[in-house]
Structure 1
Amino acid sequence: MEDLYRFPNIINTLQVTGCHFGLKPPGWHYPRHHHHLFELLYCVEGEVAHEMNRDAMTMQAGDWLLIKSGVRHQSSNTAKSDYGFFNVHFDLDDPEIRSLLSATPYQLIRHKEAERSKLRYYVSELEEVMQRNRTKQPEAEATAALSSPLRFEDKLLLQSYTLLIIHDVLQLVREHKHGSIRGQAIAAEKEKDPSLFTADIAHMIEEKLSLGLCEEATVAGVAKEMNLSRSQCSKLFSKVYGLSPRQYVSQQKLKLAKELLVTTHLPMTDIAEKLGFHSASHFSRQFRRWTGQSPSEFKPRHHSTN
């Protein structure tokens, strides 16, 4: 019987930290800071003033803000009412998604745009998951109660709804990008747009790194091949993809390692060789550094049936 539909293998890692709901009084202020992960912020009620790098903006109820990793920002509740919010810090090891997330330092999605998605529904479902996990403890212990371990099923729900939120935000960002693409194309024709040049170079670097993934392609080697210095190569790549070329290679190797461990019966020596490691023990040590598990612990156990 022929397969009607076949989905690609998907072995990507989602990292979620600092996922919470909060309520801040008038006069509240959070000083200038930055994160190593992407941040999504949703204004549930009230309003909040942000300074992103040196740009000032105000979020109102229903607005969303996507902040690229490394962007310095500060927040203040300058209104006369409480500011309620949902916020999550996350990272994904998919290069195409990271490229879109890193396209601009920040992206503000107004309430009217967000209402065309299911974002509000996903947030309400997440809130329900978190409410279920609140333990009945005294008010003084409320903060500790919120950070108590989640049930396994609720961890899956947390990841699922976070991914759905990221999906809808990216869809809105992509639509906004396509909506202004004609104007960008015209501007690029009139005057060579340096951002387009940067993107083209970064994509070429990414392609060369991907093709040489199993042959230990070095950043220095790719830079030399493209007549760039190593620092230029890293700076251009990081600007577009939001991570260094070395981090990208590590993430891609981890992704391929997981796929080979899950979908094949290859011995560790063959997997190590395919990924450009000198030995199975070298691969095993690096895999444990990446995941906290050995390859044999990560590999699913296959049970034979009679």
Structure 2
Amino acid sequence: MSSPRLPNRPEPTDLTATGEEYFFPDVRTTVNLFAIHTRRVGREWSYPPHTHPQYEINIVLAGEQVMVVDGRSYTQRQGDLVLLRPGIVHSSYSSGEGFTYFCMHFDIDDKLFLSLLSRLEQVLFPAEGAVARQIGPALDKLLELSTPNAEQAGDSVAKRMRIQSAVFELFATLWEAVSSEAAHLPGRGYVQAELAHQIASRLQGRVNQHFGQIDSVEKHDGIEGISSELGISVSHCNRVFRSVFGVSPRVYLSGLVLHEAKLLLADPQWTVQQITDMLGYGNIAHFSRQFKRWSGQSPTSYRKSTVQESPSD
């Protein structure tokens, strides 16, 4: 008997019928947001020269301001976006009857996104340009949160989650808007970062697809197979990956496996023997040696530190 379809939802593609699977990419990006605000200022308003260690997005919502960046003046009108890199000296002042602006400071640990932003030489993105137009809807969603209602009052968890959601949508749109322009800029940093993230994505895919055969993945189907797929040498693969992530692909892969092992050990329904079998190690002794080498703890010690009552192993 077939299960009923949910109303108003499209019929999903039956990947299992053809023996296929699709794993969504893991999301481990950390973003820190600072001093997100909108402000209406008068005609005499100005802000002195300063720097900050984060990126800044500044958008004029009404009126006009002058932004001085590294000694160069930019007239910023309604809808114009300014994107400032960390450490850039900048100041601003009103050039007319006052203006309203939106400002957000952020840092993010996505190396590919940072590589893209660092290569952009453009500071002012005019309202009629592709970048400002494309991020408009995402920005509007974020600005809606500046007028709190009863459900979004104060610093509620729900409001903070909605802000994060809106900011990630803004970043995704910004990425799409500027990546094609950045790809034509000189320098190899962006290309290397993109290649490194392709390697990382494929390593994650190896762990997902071969869950239950981790030993095989580590020894035979890891960086060598990925290098072949990408048409590059193993040495180049290792060099590019290390330049972006700071560790070798093999160490990164071990971290992915460790992450899976910790998730399983934190669930008391599984014994260490079962986890050993699920991860594809030949025996408990082998799994224990690997886990202790990665984490500094035995599987049993780690479990005792994360769950109140450990099942018998």
TM-score range, shorter chain: 0.5 to 0.7
Counterpart amino acid of 1:89? H
Q: 1:83 aligns with which of 99, 120, 126?
A: 99
User: 1:199/1:8 Cα in 2 relative to 1: closer, same or farther (>3 Å)?
Assistant: closer
- Native 8 Å contact 2:111 2:193 kept in 1: no
**What's 1:111 paired with?**
127
2:55·2:107 contact (CA, 8 Å) conserved in 1?
yes
Letter of the 1:30 partner, please give it: Y
Extract structure 1 runs of 4+ deviating beyond 4 A: 197-200, 256-259, 266-272
Report the equivalent of 1:50: 67
Q: Is the 8 A contact 1:67 1:106 kept in 2?
A: no
CA distance change for structure 1 residues 133 and 32 in 2, over 3 Å: closer, same or farther? farther
**Residue number among 156, 165, 168 corresponding to 2:161 in the alignment:** 156
For residues 127 and 199 of structure 1, do their structure 2 counterparts lie closer, same or farther at Cα, with a shift above 3 Å needed?
closer
| Partner of residue 264, structure 2 | 265
1:92 aligns with 2:108: yes
- Paired with 1:296 and 1:106, the residues of 2 have a C-alpha distance of 53
TM-score (norm. length: structure 1): 0.58
Q: Which amino acid aligns with 1:156?
A: M
Q: Which residue of 2 aligns with 1:63?
A: 80
Count of residues in Structure 1 that have an aligned counterpart in Structure 2: 222
Deviations 1:134-164 (A, max 9, x none): 99xxxxxxxxxx9x84221211110011111
Of 72, 89, 108, 1:72 maps to 89
Cα distance, 1:177–1:197 mapped onto 2, change above 3 Å: closer
Is 1:11–1:259's contact at 8 Å kept on the other side of the alignment? no
8 Å Cα contact 2:116-2:190 kept in structure 1:
no
| Higher RCO (CA < 8 A, seq sep 6+) | 1
Q: Distance in 1 between matches of 2:264 and 2:27?
A: 18
Structure 1, unaligned runs of 5 or more: 136-145, 185-194, 211-244, 282-294
1:196 to 163, 187, 198: 187
Q: Which residue of the partner structure matches residue 26 of structure 2?
A: 9
Matched, 1:177 2:182: yes
- For 2:118, the aligned partner's letter is S
2-side partners of 1:84 and 1:153: how far apart? 27
1:101 matches 2:151: no
Alpha-carbon shift at residue 266 of structure 1 (Å): 5.4
Structure 2 counterpart SS, 1:74: strand
**Alpha-carbon distance between aligned partners in 1 of 2:124 and 2:100, rounded to the nearest angstrom:** 17
Contact 1:11/1:258 (8 A) holds in 2? no
1:50 Cα shift? 1.1
1:124 Cα deviation after fit: 2.7
RMSD: 4.5
Q: Where does residue 223 of structure 2 map in the other structure?
A: none
Assess if the C-alpha contact under 8 Å between 2:47 and 2:93 holds in 1.
yes
Letter in 2 for 1:158: I
TM-score (norm 2): 0.57
Q: CA deviation at 1:296?
A: 9.5
1:126 corresponds to 2:142:
yes
CA 1:271–1:127: 2 relative to 1, 3 Å: farther
Summarize the Cα distance change of 1:52–1:84 in structure 2 as closer, same or farther, 3 Å threshold: same
Q: Distance in 2 between matches of 1:300 and 1:61?
A: 55
Distance 1:34 1:167 in 2: 26
CA gap of 1:160–1:272, structure 2 versus 1, over 3 A, is: farther
Q: Which moved more, 1:13-22 or 1:148-157?
A: 148-157
User: Which amino acid in the other structure matches residue 67 of structure 2?
Assistant: H
